[in-house]
Structure 1
């Protein structure tokens, strides 16, 4: 029984070390993907929610056009939210090149 525990202990560090390097690669390149998924979910979520609200108002008032207005309002609202959360900006990532933004803060010249 001591042998399986010992083998399990040896195999455990190897996947975690390769998992952390794979996780580091995902963290470095996954920011754009995660931001894209967030923008997509804001827009689709806005369309769904405001379309349902429009559909309910259409049902109550006997109209047929408020659902379309709700979908457009939801798409615009989703894009607005994603823009306000900074997901649609195309700037340098944090830690990027900040040369030309002023003198260094450490006093060195």
Structure 2
């Protein structure tokens, strides 16, 4: 008997096509707090990992600047991963701009 994990399915029902970052709920499209933590961890994690790689190369080659290049590369990589996971894009589920535009729906009842 095969057991399927129903939490990994996307809107089309295909479990292989996961969207979003790990830990970000698929039901809540805006991500909110979890998306912010995911973006932060991608960027900080990238800076730490690539700085350590740069530090190691600096130690091996006797230079002092590769650690800075590694930190910048890690930050750029973190932003890139955040963007590719859809965490940094502005999405409007209702199709609107999110800001009020035009007159209110109650008409002229508030006009004096």
TM above 0.5, one fold? yes
| Inter-partner Cα distance in structure 2 for 1:98 and 1:62 | 55
Helix, strand or coil at the partner of 2:56: helix
What are structure 2's unaligned runs of at least 5 residues? Answer: 1-26, 97-112
Q: Which residue does 1:23 correspond to in 2?
A: none
Deviations 1:43-70 (A, max 9, x none): 0000000000000000000000000000
Q: How far off is 1:98 after superposition?
A: 4.6
Q: Which residue does 1:51 correspond to in 2?
A: 51
* TM-score of the two chains, using structure 1 as the length reference: 0.59
What are structure 1's unaligned runs of at least 5 residues? Answer: 1-26, 100-109
* TM-score of the two chains, using structure 2 as the length reference: 0.57
Larger relative helix fraction: 1
- Whether 1:97 aligns to 2:106 is no
Q: How far off is 1:32 after superposition?
A: 1.0
Q: RMSD across aligned C-alpha pairs, in angstroms? A: 1.9
